Structure 1
Amino acid sequence: MGVIEDLADALARDVLEAQAELGDDRFYEKMSKVLGELSPTTQEAFMTSVRVRLAEKRGRDFLARMLAAKRSGGAAPQAPRGPDSGH
């Protein structure tokens, strides 16, 4: 990664970690606005890192629930369906 991506990713990691302490699960949106006022490039790199990290967390949570359901004999959770997924 380049300097912008490295800095934005480190900030994204810290912001997502701080959200629980702040009690604001959308704090990253406020941070994005702060960044965008000075550097739209940094803002986009930050938001990319946030989206990737949130998606990875959601994926891991879904995997854990699937495995728990399989191991306990319970019903498997449904995967989200997108509006145009065709599934």
Structure 2
Amino acid sequence: MGVLEDLADTLAKDAIDAYEKLGDEDILNEVAKQLGATSTTMEETYLTSIRIRLSERRARLYLERRVKEAEG
């Protein structure tokens, strides 16, 4: 990854961690707004990282649940 992707992905990870700790999903969008005020490119990359990370997490939980069900 390049610098932009690395920074955006690290920020996305930290924002998701904060969301989980605080229980406030709005923080994800608030961070995006802060980015958008100065760099729409960074905002878009951050939001992509958020979507990818959350999608992967949901898919992984689904997979784990299906394997547990199959094991009995």
1:35-59 per-position Cα deviation (integer Å, ceiling 9, x unaligned)? 1111000000101111110010001
Equivalent-residue separation in structure 2 for 1:25 and 1:67 (angstroms): 29
Once the two structures are TM-superposed, the CA of residue 26 in structure 1 deviates from its matched residue by 3.6
Post-superposition shift, 1:3?
0.9
After TM superposition, the runs of 4+ consecutive aligned structure 1 residues lying more than 3 A away are: none
Higher helix content, 1 or 2 = 2
- What TM-score results when the alignment is normalised by the length of structure 2? 0.92
- Shift of the alpha carbon at 1:17? 0.8
Q: Deviations over 1:18-73 (max 9, x none)?
A: 1122221342111111111110000001011111100100010000110111111x
1:12 aligns with 2:12: yes
Q: Where does residue 28 of structure 1 map in the other structure?
A: 28
Higher radius of gyration, 1 or 2: 1
Cα RMSD, aligned residues only: 1.0
Unaligned runs of 5+ in 1: 73-87
- Count of residue correspondences: 72
Aligned to 1:84: none
Amino acid across the alignment from 1:45: T
Alignment of 1:1-80 (within 5 A): 1-72=1-72
CA distance in structure 1 between the partners assigned to 2:43 and 2:68 by the alignment: 37
**Which amino acid counterpart does residue 15 of structure 1 have in structure 2?**
A
Q: Distance in 1 between matches of 2:2 and 2:25?
A: 28
